[in-house]
Amino acid sequence: MAEFVFLYRSDAGQRKKAMGSPDAAQQSMEAWMAWMRDLDAKGYIKDHGQPLEEEGKVVRGTKQLVTDGPFAEVKDLVLGFTVVKARDLAQAAELAKGCPILRGEGTVEVRPVMEMRPPQ
Amino acid sequence: MTTYAREPALSAHFFRREAAGLVAALTRIFGVHILALAEDVVHDAFCRAMEVWKVHGVPDNPAAWLMATARNRALDVVRRQRTARTFAPELGRLLETEWTLAPLVEEAFQQGVIRDEQLRMMFSCCHPGLRVEAQLALVLNLLCGFGAAEIAGALLSGRAAVEKRLSRGKRSLARARVLFDLGAAEFAERLSTVHRALYLLFGEGYHGASSAAPVRAELCEEALRLTALLRAHPVTATPATDALAALMCLHAARLPGRLDGAGDLAALGDQDRSRWDRRLVDEGLALLARSAKGGEVSTYHLEAAIAAVHARAPSLEATDWHAIVALYDRLLALSPSPVVALNRAVAIGQRDGAERGLAATRAIADAERLSGYPFYPAALGELELRRGDRAAARAHFHHALSLARNGAERRFLEKRLACCE
């Protein structure tokens, strides 16, 4: 088993649409919970991860310049992550297909976590 | 890690139910002139809930979680914008200093305050200057948490039309600057407008309810819930409110029997009365008894009393048609309408036979107003059928079919037509 990080990305318009009315919000929420619960029940979840605030600061360069950002309006904003366990990258990508974020135009980026032990 | 697995599911329409209370509390703080700000804060709280709950699961008390989130955000907004904006004019300068701000925000989220603000919102939505379609759209949006698309589906109108009604309605709310004061001189008059809107909301759901359109049955539930809100406040819990609640309970009790096994409308005589909701019948009867206090007799009292006679009857034949005709007579005297006259004629047909029923139907004063109403020719068809004139009955049912407004009515009338063969 290897570990993978799912990075959830979306943009403001899509997020607003998914939460457009209270009932739409409820449907989105229920879809997410069902997906997470399913992954959890099958033992694929290593860490549920953390949701991220939409706005923060960016520190850049040798001058350690601090600017505001990214902004909520930005496209492909990272909203949060989950750590999953899967056989290989192909299986991890297969698992990501169930993510409700895909019903809007959001994406799931699947990134293998680097092996920490030295190669045998 | 296992917390997620034992997560309780969210109750049905959880966000919709919470939205109304949160908007009311936030409107108390911000003022109705910037209603959109309250709506933004609620939306924001929902988004945060979504991000946190989908990862960590639903908390033990999700309503309290949402409320705390909205409360903190409200404090934030007031602190950041109070120099640029004037918030609720009713609260005056109390939002300006930290000494009074936090307790005020805290207070706005108390259950009793939320209830009272929702009532004031309801009264504001039912402004007599707004057309009834706009009143209903506003009530559904602000007090029931329906989005524009859901309102359009429930009221069978276009989404663009609903959005226009909502934005115009909200502009009119904003112009008033404060929500309706329950102590105002025009209270009694406005209460009857509120009753009327809730009555129509219930009717929209009741007449459109079918298995194909479950959202419409929800309108009955919402109307009942809002009437219960009126009953919960001493000022709005009048005998007419009790009568309206009784009427809704007694009709809602019949909803499970209104559709037959195939999901089609069933005539009252064909309904399986064992499927009527006894709990709602009992509640309706108790409310009707309460509503008799004070001696006022509204149309809701009479309609509820008619529904009570039906609810108590073991069958169509064993119904007290004398009582029903007498109640329709009083209803007609209080509020003349050709639909009421038609129902009275049908009841006369049950009491005195088909001939008398036909005579009463033909004697309806302004029958031309029923020319587009399929149940007028359908009633004539029913009476002719009972009299044994199948040809005449067939002609009336054919006419009724040409007026049918939806699939459920069409299928119902086709079945009646088949009975004429």
Domain map (residue ranges) of chain B: 1-128, 193-319
The pTM of this model reads 0.88
pLDDT of residue B384: 95
Residue B149: closest C-alpha in chain A: A21
**What confidence tier does B93 reach under pLDDT thresholds 50, 70, 90?**
confident
pLDDT of residue B2: 42
The average pLDDT across B123-129 equals 95
pLDDT of residue A1: 86
Please indicate whether, in this complex, the C-beta atoms of B10 and A20 are within 8 angstroms of each other: no
Whole-angstrom distance, CA of residue A36 vs CA of residue A43: 11
pLDDT of residue B1: 41
- pLDDT tens for each residue of B24-40: 999 999 999 999 999 99
Q: Are B349 and B356 in contact (CB under 8 A)?
A: yes
Mean pLDDT of chain B: 91
Per CB-CB distance under 8 Å, the chain A contacts of B7 are 33, 37
Please indicate whether, in this complex, the C-beta atoms of B13 and A22 are within 8 angstroms of each other: yes
Q: Are strands A107-112 and A77-86 parallel, antiparallel or unpaired?
A: unpaired
- pLDDT tens for each residue of A68-116: 988 877 888 898 999 999 999 999 999 999 999 998 888 999 999 998 7
Per CB-CB distance under 8 Å, the chain B contacts of A32 are 50, 54
Asked if pLDDT for residue A17 goes beyond 90, the answer is no
As beta bridge partners, residue A82 has A6
Q: Which member of B9, B10, B55 has the closest CB to residue A80?
A: B55
Q: At what angle do helices B148-155 and B159-176 cross, to 10 degrees?
A: 110
Closest CA to A44 of A52, A53, A35: A35
Whole-angstrom distance, CA of residue B289 vs CA of residue B286: 5
Per CB-CB distance under 8 Å, the chain A contacts of B147 are 20-24
* DSSP class of A102: G
For B71, B108, B195, B292, B356, the CA distances from B91, given in Å and listed in that order, are 17, 11, 29, 39, 64
Whole-angstrom distance, CA of residue B215 vs CA of residue B205: 8
Q: Does A7 touch chain B (CB under 8 A)?
A: no
Whole-angstrom distance, CA of residue B211 vs CA of residue B263: 6
